[in-house]
C-alpha cells in the first residue's frame, strides 16, 4: 500500500472514509472503503467527485461489510453519472488487488447485485475475476420485446439499405450488453455519436453497454465500448466477457480469447462449467479520503 505523509485538501471538510484511485487497463476506478460504516456513496457524491478533473472516474467500487454468509464483502458499483451498475470486471480486479495488499489472503468471494463473484491474485501478479454465468434470454438481459434468438437481434444505425451498424448479439454479464460485429477498424466508427443513442434505445429498458468488436482470429479480437452511465472508456471488463461469449456462441471465436481494448489486453475464458473468467492487471495510482454523501475529497501525498 502507498504510505501517505501529507494531506492535500480538495474543497471543504475532510472526511474519514478512505478511497483509492486505481485503474484497470485505463478504466478509471475509485475504490471506496465503506467497511464498518453505515450509509452508501450517494449519487450526488459520485457526480461531485467526477466533476473534479483529479478524480474523474468510470466506476466507484464501494466495499461494504458482508451481507451473506460465505462471502467476504458486499460490493456496490456506482457509475460516473450517479446511476448504479450491476457488474464491473475491471473494478473487481482493483478491489481484489486492494484487499490482497492488506494481508495474507489472495482470493476473495464477493456479493454484488449481479450475484456471487470471485477474485484472485495470480502468481504473475495479474488478477482473475470469476464473473459468473452469462444470460441470453431476452427477459434476462433485459430487452423490451421478445427475441427467440439473441445471438442476433433487429437493431441498426443508419439507412435501412446501408446500415452503419446492425444485428448485434446481446447478452447479460450481470449488466446488459450489445456486441456489434464490424469488419473495419473499430476506430473508424463514431462510437461517441452512436453510443448514446444505442445505450438509450427503447429496446433496452435498463439501457445497455454498446461494443464494437473486430475479430482478428478465433483467439484474438479488438473491442471498443461505450459504457452505460460512463461513456467511452479505455476498458470495460464485462463488455470483453460479453463479446467473447457472444463470439463463441455465434462461432466467430473460440471460448478463450485475448481481447485488445484501448487500454490494453484482457484474457477472457468461457469455461466448460459456464462461468466466465476475466484476467488482467490493475494499478494503484494514489489514495485519499472522501465524504460519501457530499463527494468532498482530499488526496494523500505519497512519500518518495
pLDDT tens, 168-216? 999 999 999 999 999 999 999 999 999 999 999 999 999 999 999 999 9
Q: Is residue 99 included in any domain, yes or no?
A: yes
Q: Is residue 141 included in any domain, yes or no?
A: no
Q: 11 and 128, same structural domain?
A: yes
38 band by pLDDT with thresholds 50, 70 and 90:
confident
* CATH number of the structural domain spanning residue 37: 3.10.310.10
54 band by pLDDT with thresholds 50, 70 and 90:
confident
Instruction: Report d(CA 68, CA 200) in Å as an integer.
Output: 33
Angle between helices 89-100 and 237-249 (to 10 degrees): 130
Domain boundaries, position 50: 4-132+282-302
Q: 63 and 127, same structural domain?
A: yes
CA distances for 27 relative to 3, 129, 284, angstroms: 24, 16, 12
Q: Is residue 168 included in any domain, yes or no?
A: yes
Whole-model pTM over 0.85: yes
pLDDT in tens, 112-146: 998 999 999 999 999 999 999 999 999 999 999 99
- Size of the chain, expressed as the number of residues it contains: 304
Instruction: Report d(CA 258, CA 266) in Å as an integer.
Output: 6
Q: What percent of the chain has pLDDT over 90?
A: 89
| DSSP-assigned letters across all residues of 255-269 | SEEEEEETTEEEEEE
Query: Residue with C-alpha cell 484474438?
Result: 220
Active site residues: 88, 236
Evaluate if residue 12 carries a pLDDT over 60.
no
Instruction: Report d(CA 25, CA 17) in Å as an integer.
Output: 25
Beta carbons of 267 and 256 less than 8 angstroms apart: yes
Amino acid at each position: 500500500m502507498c504510505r501517505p505523509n501529507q494531506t492535500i485538501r480538495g474543497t471543504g471538510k475532510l472526511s474519514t472514509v478512505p478511497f483509492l484511485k486505481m485503474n484497470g487497463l485505463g478504466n478509471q476506478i475509485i475504490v471506496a472503503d465503506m467497511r464498518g460504516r453505515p450509509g452508501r456513496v450517494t449519487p450526488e457524491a459520485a457526480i461531485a467527485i467526477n466533476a473534479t478533473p483529479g478524480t474523474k472516474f468510470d466506476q466507484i467500487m464501494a466495499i461494504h461489510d458482508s451481507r451473506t454468509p460465505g462471502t467476504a464483502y458486499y460490493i456496490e458499483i456506482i457509475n460516473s453519472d450517479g446511476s448504479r451498475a450491476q457488474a464491473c470486471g475491471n473494478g473487481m480486479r482493483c478491489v481484489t488487488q486492494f484487499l490482497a495488499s492488506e494481508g495474507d489472503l489472495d482470493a476473495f468471494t464477493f456479493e454484488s447485485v449481479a450475484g456471487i463473484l470471485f477474485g484472485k491474485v495470480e502468481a504473475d501478479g495479474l488478477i482473475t475475476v470469476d464473473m459468473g454465468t452469462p444470460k441470453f434470454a431476452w427477459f434476462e438481459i433485459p430487452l423490451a420485446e421478445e427475441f427467440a434468438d439473441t445471438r442476433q437481434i433487429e437493431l441498426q444505425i443508419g439507412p435501412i439499405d446501408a446500415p452503419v451498424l446492425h444485428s448485434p448479439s446481446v447478452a447479460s454479464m450481470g449488466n446488459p450488453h450489445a456486441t456489434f460485429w464490424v469488419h473495419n477498424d473499430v476506430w473508424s466508427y463514431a462510437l461517441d455519436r452512436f453510443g448514446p443513442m444505442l445505450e438509450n434505445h427503447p429496446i433496452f429498458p435498463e439501457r445497455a453497454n454498446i461494443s464494437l468488436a473486430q475479430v482478428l482470429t478465433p483467439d484474438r479480437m479488438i473491442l471498443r465500448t461505450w459504457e452505460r452511465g460512463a461513456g467511452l472508456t479505455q476498458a470495460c471488463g464485462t463488455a470483453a466477457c460479453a463479446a467473447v461469449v457472444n463470439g463463441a456462441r455465434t462461432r466467430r471465436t473460440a471460448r478463450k480469447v485475448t481481447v485488445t481494448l484501448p487500454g490494453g489486453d484482457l484474457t477472457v475464458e468461457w469455461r466448460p462449467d459456464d462461468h466466465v473468467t476475466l484476467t488482467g492487471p490493475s494499478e494503484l495510482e494514489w489514495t485519499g479520503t472522501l465524504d460519501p454523501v457530499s463527494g468532498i475529497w482530499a488526496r494523500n501525498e505519497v512519500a518518495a
